[in-house]
């Protein structure tokens, strides 16, 4: 199969009805922090056990179409000795890989960051492909303050994200592009909308400049919300209306799928907001689904608590959260299901 055919096939699998993506690609410092929240030590073995539990949960393939992993996991095996990417394929889950190398300060723009990792990216991709990964993720961040993000940060980050996407497509892999406007702070929903629109407009201009095939890209954006210090939180309908307004202004209809990050929302908030978007009557030419990390994994980590005897309970917690998000992806979630499901 040629590279375009390969990408089309991956997109079809990732966007199949009722399913979404799990991000299980936390870097060493991030997974250490997440597990520490549940008094779990992060070691090569605890990470292997936990991430193979996610990939091997019986029946999870009904709700999860793809899992984004961190480099380390691609080479690890489950308890049956099957490599984790191949174990995913057994449940028709597409294995993916986070390929950026994290953030650094952007000189000339105090308070702004730029994402690293373009050097040797093509060579690294060849290795990931051999290990079974068919799609990739790269995350940029934009912090909101009185002075940030600057125009320079918006343009520089768009350029880097587009270069990444072009390199990934040259290998026949599908790039997830993630321009994350952070929730930290006390900014208004309107300010988040303004920054999200600016970041996404610059991104799509850059993707065109770099001749990225829009039909083979997945956008992973933040939802449009006020900063997390703002109370009370807006209703799901308000979030959906504001988010769809920005997306309709910025994202071409050629893009097949928009898979949101959860960004520090509670599990229930992230699910309800996605549901409201899918229920909204305004026209939306893309699949609207999830690519959550915390909003899918938090209950699983709580149920596991680092004790492998809790494996079945952890799997049940994962199935429940994934099923509720699958319903939200179809606009069929109801809050009562949190207690009755």
Comparison of 28 and 285: residue with beta carbon closer to ligand 13P: 28
Residue from 169, 196, 257, 262 touching ligand 13P (CB under 6 A): that is 262
User: Longest C-alpha distance within the chain, in Å?
Assistant: 53
Distances (CA, A) of 186 to 109, 182, 287: 21, 11, 30
Using DSSP's 3-state secondary structure scheme, residue 21 falls into strand
Q: Which contiguous run of DSSP H or E holds residue 157?
A: helix 151-170
Active site residue 178: yes
Segment near ligand 13P (CB under 6 A); pick from 158-166, 230-238, 258-266, 317-325: 258-266
Among candidate residues 178, 269, 315, 320, the one labeled active-site is: 178
Q: Which of residues 289-308 bind ligand 13P (CB under 6 A)?
A: 292-295
Q: How far is the CB of 133 from ligand 13P (least distance, A)?
A: 15
129 with 173: CB under 8 angstroms? Answer: yes
Radius of gyration over every alpha carbon of the chain, rounded to an integer in angstroms:
19
Q: Which residues contact 242 (CB under 8 A, 6 or more apart)?
A: 189, 192, 193, 224, 225, 234
Using DSSP's 3-state secondary structure scheme, residue 250 falls into helix
Q: Which of 329, 320, 273, 276 is nearest to 298 (CA)?
A: 320
Q: How far is the CB of 293 from ligand 13P (least distance, A)?
A: 3
Is residue 23 near ligand 13P by the rule CB under 6 A?
yes
Phi-psi region at 185: left, alpha or beta (left = phi > 0; alpha = psi -120 to 50): left
Using DSSP's 3-state secondary structure scheme, residue 51 falls into helix
Q: Which of 339, 263, 335 is nearest to 298 (CA)?
A: 263
Fill in the per-residue mask, 134 to 153: x = in contact with ligand 13P (CB under 6 A), - = not in contact. -----x--------------
Comparison of 4 and 36: residue with beta carbon closer to ligand 13P: 36
Q: How far is the CB of 139 from ligand 13P (least distance, A)?
A: 4
Distances (CA, A) of 181 to 154, 233, 263: 11, 17, 9
Segment near ligand 13P (CB under 6 A); pick from 12-20, 148-156, 230-238, 287-295: 287-295
Among candidate residues 98, 113, 137, 220, the one labeled active-site is: 220
Comparison of 69 and 286: residue with beta carbon closer to ligand 13P: 69
Active site residue 77: no
Q: How far is the CB of 263 from ligand 13P (least distance, A)?
A: 4
Segment near ligand 13P (CB under 6 A); pick from 5-13, 73-81, 157-165, 286-294: 286-294
Q: Which of residues 156-195 bind ligand 13P (CB under 6 A)?
A: 178
Is residue 272 near ligand 13P by the rule CB under 6 A?
no
Binding site for ligand 13P (CB under 6 A): 23, 139, 178, 261-263, 292-295
Supply the residues annotated as catalytic: 178, 220
């Amino acid at each position: 199969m040629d590279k375009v055919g390969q990408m089309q096939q991956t997109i079809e699998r990732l966007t199949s009805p009722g399913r979404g993506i799990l991000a299980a690609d936390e870097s060493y410092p991030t997974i250490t922090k997440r597990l520490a929240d549940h008094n779990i030590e992060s070691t090569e073995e605890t990470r292997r056990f936990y991430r193979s539990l996610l990939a091997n949960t019986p029946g999870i393939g009904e709700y999860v179409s793809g899992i984004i992993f961190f480099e380390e996991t691609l080479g690890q095996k489950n308890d049956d000795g099957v490599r984790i990417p191949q174990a995913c394929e057994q449940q028709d889950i597409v294995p993916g890989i986070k390929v950026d190398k994290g953030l650094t300060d952007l000189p000339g723009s105090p308070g702004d960051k730029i994402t690293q990792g373009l050097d040797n990216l093509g060579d690294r991709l060849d290795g990931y492909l051999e290990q079974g990964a068919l799609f990739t993720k790269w995350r940029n961040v934009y912090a909101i303050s009185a002075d940030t993000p600057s125009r320079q940060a918006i343009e520089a980050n768009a350029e880097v994200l587009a270069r990444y996407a072009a390199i990934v497509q040259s290998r026949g892999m599908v790039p997830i592009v993630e321009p994350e406007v952070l929730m930290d702070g006390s900014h208004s929903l309107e300010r988040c909308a303004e920054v999200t629109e600016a970041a996404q407009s610059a991104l799509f201009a850059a993707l065109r400049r770099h001749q990225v095939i829009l039909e083979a890209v997945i956008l992973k954006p933040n939802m449009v919300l006020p900063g997390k210090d703002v109370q009370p939180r807006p209703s799901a309908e308000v979030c959906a209306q504001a988010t769809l307004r920005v997306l309709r202004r910025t994202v071409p209809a050629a893009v097949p799928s928009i898979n949101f990050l959860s960004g520090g929302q509670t599990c229930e908030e992230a699910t309800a907001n996605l549901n409201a978007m899918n229920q909204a009557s305004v026209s939306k030419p893309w699949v609207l689904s999830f690519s959550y990390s915390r909003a899918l994994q938090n209950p699983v980590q709580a149920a596991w608590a680092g004790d492998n005897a809790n494996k079945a309970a952890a799997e049940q917690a994962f199935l429940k959260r994934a099923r509720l998000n699958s319903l939200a992806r179809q606009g069929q979630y109801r809050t009562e299901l949190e207690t009755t499901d």
